[in-house]
Chain A
Amino acid sequence: MNDKGKIMAGLIIFIGIFTFPFYSNLGKASAVPEPLLNTPVIKQMPVKQCVETKEYMRANHMQMLNEWRDMLLRDGIKTYKSMSNGKEYVISLQNTCLNCHSNKKDFCDTCHKYLAVHPYCWDCHFGPKEAGV
């Protein structure tokens, strides 16, 4: 057992390198992003109300967008009736959602970046800035 020292030193170095991501990021957790709602269109709304409630949208917007896609494209249903306020909304990501949320960078991207998700919506659909708005 003459190599005890070497083994221990090796183990310490290994554990040091292996746990590097943990201690190097300790206390550096990035703040939970706050999507901004300060776009001109939203500011002008008397009642700040999305298609559904904030909580519902936060949890389910991705499923909802998939449903909207199939409703419009495959079933030819042009409007969506809100479950929360009963209003009818024209189904369109580019022309309805992004009309209010014209700040893609401060709205969509902040959370998507924080959660490291990469939705491919923008491969085809124009974000507000790219369209030169």
Chain B
Amino acid sequence: MSMDRRDFLKIIGLSTVAGGIGGAGLLELRKGTAEASSAPHGRNKGSGSTLAMVIDVRKLESPDQYKRCIDACHKAHNVPDFGNPKDEIKWIWTDDFEHTFPGAGHEYVAEEVEKKQFLLLCNQCEKPACVRVCPTQATFKRASDGIVMMDYHRCIGCRFCMAACPFGARSFNWRDPRTAPNLQNPANLNPKFPTRMKGVVEKCNFCAERLREGLEPACVEACKDTKAIVFGNLDDPKSEVREMLRTHYTIQRKPELGTNPRLFYVIGG
């Protein structure tokens, strides 16, 4: 069979085009199967979910209500209480207006607001400073829902994250948490959740272990009757959290630092 140069070039050209189209199609197919095969593991990276909280402080009136949230959290996570501020471990706590929203006040702030205590926990920042400084990646931002997680197995206790966090949301275990007086009573323990060990830093995990089971965070559940804390997906325009943000004026803690907290406060009048 003889072929002149013109025919040869035609065939080469056509097969290049056909190969290109076929290859692209194959790549598309492979993408599809890759997604399908990873789905059963529940790994939903980049699914467009960002968990956030709106705390309506108008609805938290008595110290009793704060205590209920705090107790629920600390019991669920076996948070030790040594009864002295030096060894304090904080997952969720309260502070006054001046220390919660520094710079937001002025000399004529409503007395009611100025004297109020505010419920504080880890802000689950969009750009967490703690994650940037962690040398072992023990603390990291979970891609699936934006929770700033702690891997206590990897924490070496350097406390860079504590220095970096502008919200004081992290505590160092100076003492073995198992020896804390409140954890000596088995009734105060949650046997399904571990404690931490001496020499690691701990903080609020947005109840990642409860979310896994389809439950709401412990603090949200504890004050469910007042609906003081609204929890949900910030990326879903129809979520309760977005509804709250749409209908109320909300502020964040230290927004000027650019960490973009995922906790919003309704201060009200």
Contacts and interface: CB of A to CB of B under 8 A. Distances in A.
The answer to whether A and B assemble together is yes
A61 to B, nearest CB: 16
B43 A76 contact: yes
Contacts of A78: 41-42, 212
Q: Which interface class (under 10, 10 to 19, 20 to 34, 35 or more) fits B?
A: 20 to 34
Given A79-B42, A94-B192, A124 B149 contact: no
Given A126-B189, A131-B186, A131-B191, A73 B151 contact: yes
Contact of A94 (B41, B43, B194): B194
Contacts of A105: none
Contacts of B42: 76-79
Chain A binding surface, main DSSP class = loop
A75 B42 CA distance: 9
A39 to B, nearest CB: 16
Contacts of A120: 197
A125 B151 CA distance: 13
Interface in A70-108: 73-79, 94-95
Contacts of B191: 94, 126, 131-133
Nearest to B41: A77
Given A124-B152, A124-B194, A126-B191, A75 B186 contact: no
A99 B131 CA distance: 34
Interface in B138-184: 140, 142, 144, 149, 151-153
Given A73-B149, A124-B194, A131 B189 contact: yes
A132 B41 contact: no
Contact of A95 (B140, B152, B192, B195): B192
A123 interface: yes
Contacts of A125: 194
30 contacts: A69-B153, A74-B149, A75-B43, A76-B42, A76-B43, A76-B142, A77-B41, A77-B42, A78-B42, A78-B212, A79-B41, A79-B42, A94-B192, A94-B193, A94-B194, A120-B197, A123-B197, A124-B152, A124-B194, A124-B195, A124-B197, A125-B194, A126-B189, A126-B191, A126-B195, A131-B189, A131-B191, A132-B186, A132-B189, A133-B191
